[in-house]
Structure 1
Amino acid sequence: MGHQHDPEDCADYLERIVYLLDNELDEADCALVRRHLDECGPCLEKYDLERTVKAVVHRSCGESAPESLRERVRVQIRAVQVRITEG
């Protein structure tokens, strides 16, 4: 059985989101991130990350997200990654 999401997977995934943010999201990346958010919403919600990432993804998919917003997400993601890996 086991639970659906391995914390390590989430940490890896967050790493990819940061990478995508830095390289500007294109439509394919946006779809990917959105799908993960749908699947992993509860995990990210626990770390209060879902709303912020969704905001950036939403902005980035239509236009370029402001650097301040992207930076905030990067900082939050780093903090969450630490919390995930430390359990």
Structure 2
Amino acid sequence: MREGRLRVSVWDTNPVIPAPFDKPPTLLPFLPEPDDSTGGRGLLLVQLCADSWGGFSVGAGLGGKLLWFELGRRPEAEFAFAA
């Protein structure tokens, strides 16, 4: 991993790899869950902020999946959000 980057990995026992982790990062927007949904917004934040991500099934031992994403240094202007 290059200097100035953070990689976050998460493991769980469910083997299903959710979007967007099932495909490489693209410029296409991830469609968020409906406003009344009780979940799903965390993956939208990953897609908006992460430079790269991925996931793979873990077959041996406990099973499940491992998901990861990387964040790199960005210029301040990229973090300005319109109100």
Report if TM-score (shorter chain) is over 0.5: no
Q: Which protein is richer in helix relative to its size?
A: 1
Q: Normalised by the size of structure 2, how large is the TM-score?
A: 0.28
Q: Which protein is richer in strand relative to its size?
A: 2
Structure ID, larger Rg = 2
Q: Normalised by the size of structure 1, how large is the TM-score?
A: 0.27
